[in-house]
Amino acid sequence: MARFSRLDHVGFSVSNLDNSIDFYSKLLEGEVLLRRFYNEKYVADMVGYEGVEMECAFLHLPNGVILELIQYMKPYTGTVDMNTYNVGNAHICLTTDSIEEDFNRIKEFAHVKSDFVPESTDGPYKGSKTFYFTDPDGISIELVQYPPGVEIKIGNN
């Protein structure tokens, strides 16, 4: 068993903090908990970028996990290919009890990768309905609804 007690936060580097705050506030139907500019030496030591300047916003994800959105001013940010098949690409997966309603709501402000909500026909998520969509920077988010009365378990989780 790992020594770690819980997941504290998930962080995404974004190109425009205001656009990302707008997107994630709509998605999560919540408000920013904290927005702050950082340029302190301890932050440079922590992230490994001398002279770093960045602005961060924090929002609630389910189960007490925090979403940290980070816009770097120094060093200047570049972009990477955000296709999910690329090594290093990551996504978060959120669960819902009303996937069709959320699908219709989310496609109003996000790029949804399918025209309908597919149902998994095999594997550990068999019977669940899932779709992917992206934020303004192409970061992938997955939304899943388990079959009624079913809790998906993989391994010992």
pTM score, whole prediction = 0.90
Each domain of the chain, given as residue ranges in start order, spans 9-74, 91-145
Please state whether 156 falls in left (phi above 0), alpha (psi between -120 and 50) or beta: alpha
Res. 93: pLDDT tops 60 = yes
Structurally, at CATH architecture level, domain 91-145 sits in Roll (3.10)
- Per-residue model confidence as pLDDT tens digits over 132-153: 999 999 999 999 999 887 777 6
Nearest to 30 by CA among 56, 61, 55: 61
Fold equal for 9-74 and 91-145 = yes
Radius of gyration from C-alpha coordinates of the chain: 17
Res. 3: pLDDT tops 60 = yes
Whether 145 contacts 99, CB under 8 Å: yes
CATH number of 9-74: 3.10.180.10
- Per-residue model confidence as pLDDT tens digits over 39-82: 999 999 999 999 999 999 999 998 889 999 999 999 988 888 88
The pLDDT-based confidence of 156 (bands split at 50, 70, 90) is low
